[in-house]
A and B are shown apart, each in its own frame.
Chain A
Amino acid sequence: MPKIKSLEELMKIKEETLKNVKMRESGKRGKIIVAMGTCGIAAGAKETLNAIVEALNEFSVEDIKVVQSGCMGLCEVEPTIKVEIEGEIPVTYGHVTPENAKRIVKQHIVAGDLVGDLIVKQGEE
């Protein structure tokens, strides 16, 4: 660890760490809920979840939190995730492989367009 000499270096550590810490505090814009019931995990929800976190980092999305939930009851289309953004109708996506997860983050979270071919349901249960 090189010794810190400037305010910029100090700021850099602060921002980097805040990114990490932010994960534990709540996001402002919305959240992605990953169904992590036994069926979801068996279908690869853990990989999906990791992919989502990676993608959010890649696109520097900081105002979305990732939450896990129990089984959403859509076992046949697992892994499923639900995207809840404030002011928008919640969207549930199915068959969310790591590749699809990245697509959802890029298209839905960043660009604001729904990913039509993966939508299972729109609106609350």
Chain B
Amino acid sequence: MPLTTNTILICAGGACISSGEESVKNALERKIKEYNLQEAIKIVETGCMGACSIGPLMVIYPEGVYYQKLTPKAAEKIVEEHLLKGRIVEEYLYKGDKGKIVPQPQEEIPFFSRQVKIATRNLGIIDPLNIEEYIARDGYFALYKALKEMKPEEVINTIKESGLRGRGGAGFPTGLKWEFARKAPGDEKYMICNADEGDPGAFMDRSILEGDPHTIIEAMTIAGYAIGANKGYVYVRAEYPIAIERLSEALKQAHEYGFLGENILDSGFSFDIEIRIGAGAFVCGEETALINSIEGKRGQPRVKPPYPAQKGLWGKPTNINNVETLACVPPIIKNGPQWFRQWGTEKSPGTKVFALAGKVKNTGLVEVPMGITLRELIYEIGGGSPTGKKIKAVQTGGPSGGVIPEEYFDTPVDFESLTQLGAIIGSGGMIVLDEDDCMVDVAKFFLEFTVDESCGKCTPCREGTKIMYEILNKITNGEGTEDDIETLEKLGNIIKDSSLCGLGQTAPNPVLSTLRYYKDEYIAHVRDKACPAKKCRNLISYVIDTSKCVGCTACARVCPASCIDGEIKKPHEIDQEACIKCGSCIEVCRFGAISKVSPALD
């Protein structure tokens, strides 16, 4: 029994690691050792706590104090002041939105209190590399229940009744998928976990694997039992080295404890899991391409049908579930389908993890009940705009999704409602856009991504997305015509209908949905050669308001093209010919004298 008086949970999610978690941890350890407190204070690295915008962050228990935006220096101060002397270091205290000091933000700050954590229940709470902490949080009890007290059909029925739907994007009922695989003839079957998370901005799967790897092992074993598979694969991208490392360690532990291998829990059922590392192609998140990749073939999708449930990996019946979906399985088995249904809506029960990004105060991972409105999600949990500028829309579902304008923010977030609006829940990426974001530019950004990631197997996707991208490029450069807009719409619908896999079928969505709600912006680009958001570089000019300019020369000094001229204390002027439109001058002007205009000046 360790003589622990304080436990420090430090977030070791990807975002916090990138912002310097390791050096903070090292500083903590160094200072703790200096004061000879290493036996009394335990440091635990946890998975992503979700509040990425304030990272690196840590919680000190038993007080439950959150410290944010840590540096090694901050860590040293916290050891000396908080741990040694018991004084809270207010400088780094996480205070929430209102600036009020809240010692236990999990209970009082909306970012935490509005969340319901099922898939991310252990993130930031347990040490991911400690199997016993997972067990302490009811880990592997569902496995016991499934293997010893339930028939495979009962397991499938429980999942069916819970209404759990695939969290990877398509929202297909998980229980039904399991049933197909179970009923497919054949005595050799496979269970695959799809951890090839590829949507730009979405990182919930990585966070779950990093922060709670055992839940995936437990869920896959349960699923294996339900469908009749003895072998599982986790297909995870090589860009997730920490996830791979922690999952490998967790697999080892699960073997030691007898949760994997032969005759698990004395039930007669045997199951094993192997990790397959993908090379980070977006298309490999598509299930048939993923199967090809595991088989060692080029990662290109197959024609469906046959579906993987009939003819999947090595031609055998295969079931594929996404990480977040699987993370919901153990608590559903343990607590029953009705427990899961207390959250969410009739058709979309439970919760969903969203990756909030863009123009909101609190960016990060949030798990909320389905059916919450976009407004609650963006304003209450996300904290609204950080700059006070008007939020214009939200982009959901990444390169397969679309935009939802502000006037629809009272729509409940569930699979059907968002699809009706031309967007999708997708994997849960949510990018908040404000008045500075140009919708044509947003569409172009996602199209560029799909053009890069199209595998090239089918023509509509390979050629079509490229042509759409070129047209968007033309429009943002001010060379588009009204015919181009029509072509975009027509081509988009053709690609949607005729592509082979989900990648191509959804690739035009960002364009089609921006066309649906923001056609006026497209028209402004082609007819007036103007970008209403003043974002597209070729359609704007920077100008100095001579009545406001005091001639401080700050802009002239910072201009990399040396295109700003003027005498000291006299209004300056920008040479439009030489201006490269980098925007440096606006940033340094303290008098608000520089602004953007669109269309561009000649």
Contact = CB atoms under 8 A, between A and B. Distances in A.
A66 interface: yes
A36 B86 contact: yes
B258 A68 contact: no
Nearest to B133: A17
A25 B391 CA distance: 39
A118 interface: no
Nearest to B266: A5
Interface stretch (B61-69, B109-117, B184-192, B240-248): B61-69
Interface stretch (B4-12, B154-162, B299-307, B594-602): B4-12
Q: Main SS of the interface on chain A?
A: mixed
B259 interface: yes
Interface string A14-30: 10111111011111000
Interface string A44-56: 0010011001100
A4 B259 CA distance: 8
Given A24-B7, A49-B40, A5 B62 contact: no
Contacts of B138: 14
Interface in B431-480: none
Interface in A42-100: 46, 49-50, 53-54, 57, 65-71
Contacts of A71: 85
Contacts of B83: 68
Contacts of A10: 135, 140-141, 144
Contacts of B133: 17, 21
A17 B2 contact: no
B266 A24 contact: no
B39 A65 contact: no
B578 interface: no
Interface string B36-60: 1101101000000000000000000
A21 B5 CA distance: 11
Nearest to B8: A24
Contacts of A111: none
Contacts of B2: 20
A31 B140 CA distance: 33
A70 B256 CA distance: 43
Contacts of B570: none
Contacts of B4: 20, 23-24, 53
Given A4-B257, A5-B265, A65 B136 contact: no
B6 to A, nearest CB: 7
B132 interface: yes
Given A20-B1, A27-B62, A68-B83, A3 B136 contact: no
Interface in B66-104: 83-87
Contact of A66 (B5, B37, B141, B256): B5
B62 A69 contact: no
Interface of A: 1-7, 10, 13-14, 16-21, 23-27, 31, 34, 36-37, 41, 46, 49-50, 53-54, 57, 65-71
The 5 closest A-B pairs by CB, nearest first: A3-B258, A24-B61, A17-B136, A24-B7, A69-B86
Interface of B: 1-7, 9, 36-37, 39-40, 42, 61-64, 83-87, 132-133, 135-136, 138, 140-141, 144, 148, 256-259, 261, 265-266
